C-alpha cells in the first residue's frame, strides 16, 4: 500500500488562520458599516435582517477571532514572548473581547428596534484603548522575535496602530465626510491588516507530516 502524506495543521496554525480571517473582516468593517445603516433601514424588512446580519458579522465576530489569533501567537512564541510579550497579548486580547462585547450590546439593541446604548459604546471605546496599548507591546515583541517579512510588517503596524489610525481617520474624514466609516477605519484597519499578515505567517507553521 502506498503511503499517503497528510499535512495536519497544528493548533497554532488553526488559531492563526482564524486570526487571519478575523483580521481581514476587521479591516473590511468600515466598508460594510459605511455603506449601510440599521437605523436608516425599515425595521423588520428583509433589508433590515440583511443589514443586521452584516453588523453582527463584521462588528462582533472579528474581534473574537482575533482573540484566537493572539492565542496562536502566544503558543508560537512559547517562552520567547517574554514578560512584555505575554502582558501585551493578554492586554490586547482583553481589549478586543471588550470591543466585541460593546458592539454586541449596541447591535443587539439596534437589531431589536431600539436605539444605540451609551454604555455599550463606552465599553467598545474602553476596549479599544486597552487593545491599542496591548498592540504596542505585541508589535514590539513580534518585531524582535519573528524574522519573516510578513510578521515584521505586522509588528510595525501593531506598534504604530494608534498614529496610523489617526492618520487614516483624518484622511477618511476628508474623503468620506459625515460617514462613520472613517471613524471605524481609524480603529480597525491597522490592526486588521496586521493580523491578516501575521495570521497568515503563523498559519504556515504546521505539524510534522503523518503517513496513513
Instruction: State how far the alpha carbon of 46 is from the alpha carbons of 25, 35, 42, 43, in Å.
Output: 23, 17, 9, 9
- State the Cα–Cα distance between residues 201 and 148, nearest whole angstrom: 8
Residue 112 pLDDT class (50, 70, 90 cuts): confident
For 12, the 3-state DSSP assignment is: helix
- For residue 87, give the C-alpha cell: 502582558
Share of the chain above pLDDT 90, in %: 60
Give me the pLDDT at residue 102, please.
95
At residue 207, does pLDDT exceed 80? no
- State the Cα–Cα distance between residues 184 and 172, nearest whole angstrom: 10
Q: Each residue of 192-201: pLDDT tens digit?
A: 999 999 999 9
At residue 1, does pLDDT exceed 50? no
Give me the pLDDT at residue 7, please.
54
Average confidence score pLDDT of the chain: 88
Average pLDDT over residues 91-95: 97
Residue 82 pLDDT class (50, 70, 90 cuts): confident
Q: Each residue of 31-65: pLDDT tens digit?
A: 888 777 777 788 878 888 888 898 999 999 999 99
Its pTM stands at 0.88
Residue 72 pLDDT class (50, 70, 90 cuts): very high
Residue whose grid cell is 488562520 = 17
Closest CA to 58 of 77, 40, 89, 32: 32
- For residue 108, give the C-alpha cell: 443587539
Q: Which residue ranges make up each domain of the chain? A: 7-211
Judged by average pLDDT, the poorest of 122-126, 160-164, 179-183 is: 179-183
Give me the pLDDT at residue 28, please.
94
At residue 6, does pLDDT exceed 80? no
Give me the pLDDT at residue 211, please.
34
Give me the pLDDT at residue 2, please.
44
Instruction: State how far the alpha carbon of 73 is from the alpha carbons of 25, 70, 129, 161, in Å.
Output: 19, 5, 21, 18
Closest CA to 133 of 167, 88, 73: 88
Amino acid at each position: 500500500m502506498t503511503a499517503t502524506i497528510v499535512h495536519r495543521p497544528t493548533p497554532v496554525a488553526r488559531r492563526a488562520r482564524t486570526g487571519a480571517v478575523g483580521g481581514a473582516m476587521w479591516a473590511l468593517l468600515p466598508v460594510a458599516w459605511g455603506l449601510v445603516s440599521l437605523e436608516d433601514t425599515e425595521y423588520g424588512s428583509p433589508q433590515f435582517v440583511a443589514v443586521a446580519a452584516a453588523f453582527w458579522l463584521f462588528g462582533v465576530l472579528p474581534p473574537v477571532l482575533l482573540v484566537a489569533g493572539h492565542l496562536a501567537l502566544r503558543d508560537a512564541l512559547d517562552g520567547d514572548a517574554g514578560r512584555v510579550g505575554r502582558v501585551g497579548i493578554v492586554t490586547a486580547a482583553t481589549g478586543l473581547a471588550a470591543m466585541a462585547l460593546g458592539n454586541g450590546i449596541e447591535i443587539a439593541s439596534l437589531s431589536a428596534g431600539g436605539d444605540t446604548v451609551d454604555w455599550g459604546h463606552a465599553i467598545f471605546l474602553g476596549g479599544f484603548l486597552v487593545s491599542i496599548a496591548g498592540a504596542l507591546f505585541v508589535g514590539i515583541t513580534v518585531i524582535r522575535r519573528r524574522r519573516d517579512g510578513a510578521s515584521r510588517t505586522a509588528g510595525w503596524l501593531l506598534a504604530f496602530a494608534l498614529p496610523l489610525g489617526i492618520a487614516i481617520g483624518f484622511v477618511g474624514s476628508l474623503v468620506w465626510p459625515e460617514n462613520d466609516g472613517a471613524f471605524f477605519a481609524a480603529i480597525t484597519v491597522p490592526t486588521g491588516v496586521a493580523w491578516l499578515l501575521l495570521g497568515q505567517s503563523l498559519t504556515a507553521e504546521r505539524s510534522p507530516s503523518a503517513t496513513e
